[in-house]
A and B are shown apart, each in its own frame.
Chain A
């Protein structure tokens, strides 16, 4: 399966398993979603389970909070993460705090799916990576898969979770694991182990990172599309790097990070999002606090630049192979 098919499969399974699961969003119903993630679901499960909404993100999330308060388990879609901002008040002030402020009287068991990330010539409003806004907000969980296998297992776990989950889908790797070498053809998922997706129900526990490549020289912390870019760079660079796919940013698997960095003594953090106050800063601080006496070199971050996401200069902006390789060389030189 590719990642779209895996997500579609997870939704299909959860719609069948739990009558309280409901999928809503712009174009998700009859049409099946602009990325086809919900294709066929309305026809199979009915219009009151999978339906189109007006174009109002604050309405979509606000309505989902109300459906959750009733006892349903909504899975709203925000068409692009770049368009999640109108819903921020409902997410940050309401969904994230409802359990806390009502002392468990009301909960918001929803999973907000949204395609995110760049590398597709999406320009300013089809490329953003706003995960840092959500990890900063207590009460929300943030999950980002990097393979079809993980996407299905994590999405099922997110839907079953009784806390609100922001589920960002790296749209660059919907159809294949992008290496970051934009001049090379993208391989289809079929050639990647992560595309082997079991039939039926399975779940991957939230809050657990995955070591996708064990190594001893340096720990690279990454998630989403960057997992594949980092893998390609490491393969070319001949460095025995340990690559950690975080998968869940909140709650963060600190134990896996700490264990890895203490073993390698070096740490590189890679994400597409802009640098300043990005999630990488949290990771760097965590590593510094917990692994200070084990560090052989300063913790490095390769991230998007602190500019809006450009259209024509995309490959100068994208934290691709050259920038990652340069940072690795710098870390290993120390």
Chain B
């Protein structure tokens, strides 16, 4: 036989490898006019028991409640009382004030690291307000709004950020990786997406025990590329776990735009369709839409109708972290050009349109919250700031590796304590 089985390639077109590229780089003028802004009311609000298949349009559309003129309408309007709306605005403003202050604290050298959530305040605050207080949240590192909405002490958040004497995590964790079981806030890990199957497991346990609590988990769109995301989606579907799977699509994973997570050809909400999981894609800068979607998913989970994936379509307004300079990879004016505006300002506008708020009250509250954060910071700094000596007893380094200290750690602790004077001077823990 001659080489009949070998394909002749000289008359075929050459293949090419597609490398996604964001549309705007530094120096470009961003123009998002091609991003579809579906009309408020374009998507129905199905029963919470709807089949995943019936939710297909909701995976590709966009749940919206707030018009850009500040009015609210459509089937997803949660019709919150003015007091609830004002509480929501206050928490979102508090998150923003906290972020601003802590970012500055990092720049002043008071801590090593910080991550803001600017532009994404609705995604954590409004969602948390739609959950029950004892539902367990499995956040990524950009949902500080959960803790703030559940009235976790700002001082303890700062103590953690400063790794000081008051740090509930004893200086062991990088700043912002909070843990607060009593507030339904699972320990934040540096490893992306690991909390996804964990949240599903927590929800499965709740169901297995006949409990009525549900779990909610957050990750960024970049993290959906992790294998843990797939595992979690599979488990959630297989066991009909009472869990809300939030994907915060803020367009950027550090310097990589969402195209590198697979966002060029489909939505992140659409991932759920293939798993047989109900999904909602919402305007993440519309706090009422985020609230309504979470409320829907929460009711669905609590009535044993299973999991929901919610894609929050938003924009990361600031750098990835204090270690990042976004002007190195994206157009400076992107956030200003973002067609969905700013979540805090949109809620403010809504309250004003309702006649329940005014610019004067907004300005006064901004000042009040800035002062509150500043006062909390002063208190927290009484417990020390990072770099000013060692704030934890050195021996605490060996605790909690295991429930009890095994012999080899006892030995290593003795060794370290013996080094203490030579390392840190005769006073031992100086600058304490």
Which A residues lie at the B interface, using CB under 8 A? 22, 48-49, 53-54, 56, 58-59, 61-72, 74, 86, 89-90, 93-94, 97-107, 138-139, 141, 161-163, 207, 250-252, 254-255
Contacts and interface: CB of A to CB of B under 8 A. Distances in A.
A53 B200 CA distance: 13
Contact of A105 (B180, B204, B232, B401): B180
Nearest to B202: A66
Given A58-B228, A103-B400, A22 B194 contact: no
**Of residues B190, B198, B235, which shows the largest number of chain A Cβ atoms within 10 Å of its Cβ?**
B198
A99 B402 contact: yes
A88 to B, nearest CB: 11
B199 interface: yes
Contacts of B208: 22, 48-49, 72
B238 A62 contact: no
Given A63-B235, A163-B402, A254-B408, A58 B198 contact: no
B403 A101 contact: no
Contacts of B234: 54, 56, 59
B136 to A, nearest CB: 8
A49 B196 CA distance: 22
A56 B196 CA distance: 14
Nearest to B187: A102
Contact of B227 (A58, A67, A68, A103): A58
Given A66-B197, A94-B194, A101 B205 contact: no
B169 interface: yes
B181 A63 contact: no
Nearest to B403: A162
25 contacts: A54-B231, A54-B234, A56-B231, A58-B231, A62-B194, A62-B196, A62-B201, A62-B231, A65-B197, A66-B201, A67-B201, A89-B194, A90-B197, A94-B191, A100-B172, A102-B179, A102-B181, A105-B179, A138-B401, A139-B402, A141-B402, A163-B402, A207-B407, A250-B406, A251-B408
B170 interface: yes
Contact of A64 (B173, B201, B408): B201
B200 A93 contact: no
B295 to A, nearest CB: 23
Given A99-B402, A99-B403, A71 B231 contact: no
B41 to A, nearest CB: 37
Contacts of B235: 53-54, 56, 59, 63
Nearest to B211: A70
Listed from nearest, the 9 A-B pairs whose CB atoms lie closest are: A66-B201, A62-B197, A59-B231, A63-B201, A251-B406, A70-B205, A66-B198, A102-B179, A102-B187
B1 to A, nearest CB: 33
B219 interface: no
B177 interface: yes
B169 A71 contact: no
Interface of B: 136, 138, 168-170, 172-173, 177, 179-181, 186-187, 189-191, 194, 196-206, 208-209, 215, 227-228, 230-232, 234-235, 238, 400-403, 406-408
A102 B177 CA distance: 9
Given A70-B201, A163-B403, A101 B187 contact: yes
B86 to A, nearest CB: 32
B324 to A, nearest CB: 22
Given A56-B231, A251-B406, A70 B202 contact: yes
B206 A207 contact: no
Contact of A251 (B196, B197, B215, B407): B407
A94 B177 CA distance: 13
A139 B401 contact: yes
A231 B406 CA distance: 30
Contact of A254 (B169, B172, B407): B407
A287 to B, nearest CB: 14
A249 to B, nearest CB: 12
A99 B187 CA distance: 9
A106 B181 contact: yes
Nearest to A108: B198
Contacts of A86: 227
Contacts of A62: 194, 196-198, 200-201, 228, 231-232
